[in-house]
Amino acid sequence: MSDPLLQIRDLHLALPDLNAKRLFGPAPRIEILRGLTFDIARGATLGIVGESGSGKSTLGRCLVRLLEPTGGTIWLNGDDITHARPRDLAAHRRDLQMIFQDPMSSLNPRHSVLRLIADPMRLHGVEDADAKARDMLDRVHLGRRFADRYPHQLSGGQRQRVGIARAVGLSPRFILADEIVSGLDVSTQAQIIRLLEELVADMDLTLAFISHDLSVIRRLCRDVIVLRAGQIVEAGTTEAVFETPQHPYTAELKAAIPLPEPDDTWLRLG
């Protein structure tokens, strides 16, 4: 087993209940994450699954420090980043990258594809950012002819490839992908999954992949954790968890979303 890249210990997050109206004092808080403890090894492909409202996306945003936990610790490569101040966290931003579910909301519509990929490189001091951004267009199988296009001129799958290129272009230690294929047709989903497989292997990336689709997790991820109401109810290798689930909730998820065989047609598309 590889040394852990990320170590999460007793992680808690509580957020204000915006639906609760109170004349005086702070709004009551809702506990979203409840004492999560797990490791993500270097080079791992970890699936994070659970029904809507289970805390998957909230956990992901804590891992890349877009949200600050209210309890517990997050260690990145031996450094405690749980409550790092913006100045200190800036040193880790290159290593913590996220691919968002909706690329239209995460890509600036006024910027060309080339600029969308190159600007983060320039921000982090990468030399020859434009040239390296063009290289990334080749790596995500778009091609350099897309450099001068804008997000509205791209299909959903093409926009998601731009989001992937922007994140991977910084050669981060860790990438979080949050439901990035949920809005795509089956053929495009398969192409994006194959692309991630290539990049993880070629660039030695560590990936956490959030999805409600167990068939995608089964194809892409070596390990999986199952969340329910902000708690981990089961964890292990993907094969073991899905073949012989030990928790009734995992069995319910499997029954609700039947798992195709690994060589089913959609997994071979692209």
Per the structure, the complete domain to which residue 172 belongs is given by: 4-268
Contact between 92 and 260 under an 8 Å Cβ cutoff? The reply is no
Per-residue pLDDT at 106 exceeds 90: no
Centre a 10 Å sphere on the Cβ of residue 137 and count the other Cβ atoms it contains. Answer: 21
Backbone phi, psi, residue 207, to 5°: -130, 135
The residues, any chain, with a CB within 8 Å of residue 153's CB and separated by 6 or more, are none
- HSE of 180, CA atoms in CB hemisphere, 13 A: 32
pLDDT at 268: 47
pLDDT over 90 (residue 1):
no
User: What average pLDDT does this structure show over 5-27?
Assistant: 83
Q: What's the rounded mean pLDDT across residues 80-108? A: 89
pLDDT confidence band for 90 (50 / 70 / 90): confident
Q: What is the pLDDT of residues 246-270, one digit of tens each?
A: 999 999 988 887 666 655 544 444 4
DSSP calls for the chain: -PPEEEEEEEEEEEEE-TT---SSSPPPEEEEEEEEEEEEETT-EEEEE--TTSSHHHHHHHHTTSS--SEEEEEETTEE-TT--HHHHGGGGGGEEEE-S-HHHHS-TTS-HHHHHHHHHHHTT-TTHHHHHHHHHHHTT--GGGTT--GGGS-HHHHHHHHHHHHHTT--SEEEEESTTTTS-HHHHHHHHHHHHHHHHHHT-EEEEE-S-HHHHHHH-SEEEEEETTEEEEEEEHHHHHHS--SHHHHHHHHHSPPPPTT-HHHH--
Confidence band for 70, pLDDT divided at 50, 70 and 90? very high
Of 203, 239, 213, give the one whose Cα is nearest residue 224: 239
Residues of the chain above pLDDT 90, percent: 73
Answer whether residue 74 shows pLDDT above 90. yes
Quote the pLDDT of residue 263.
Answer: 53
Confidence category of residue 73, pLDDT binned at 50, 70, 90: very high
Beta carbons of 76 and 69 less than 8 angstroms apart: no
Mean pLDDT for 190-210 is 94
Q: What percentage of residues in the chain have a pLDDT greater than 70?
A: 92
Q: What is the CATH number of the domain that holds 203?
A: 3.40.50.300
d(CA 261, CA 215): 9
Please give the average per-residue pLDDT across 10-15, as a whole number.
Answer: 95
Residue range 181-189: mean pLDDT, rounded: 89
User: Please, which pLDDT band fits residue 208 given cuts at 50, 70 and 90?
Assistant: very high
How many structural domains is the chain composed of?
1
Per-residue pLDDT tens over the stretch 20-37: 666 666 778 889 999 999
CB 92 within 8 A of CB 65: yes
Is the Cβ–Cβ distance between 54 and 234 less than 8 Å?
no
Residue 17: the pLDDT is 78
Query: What confidence category does residue 4 fall into, taking pLDDT thresholds of 50, 70 and 90?
Result: very high
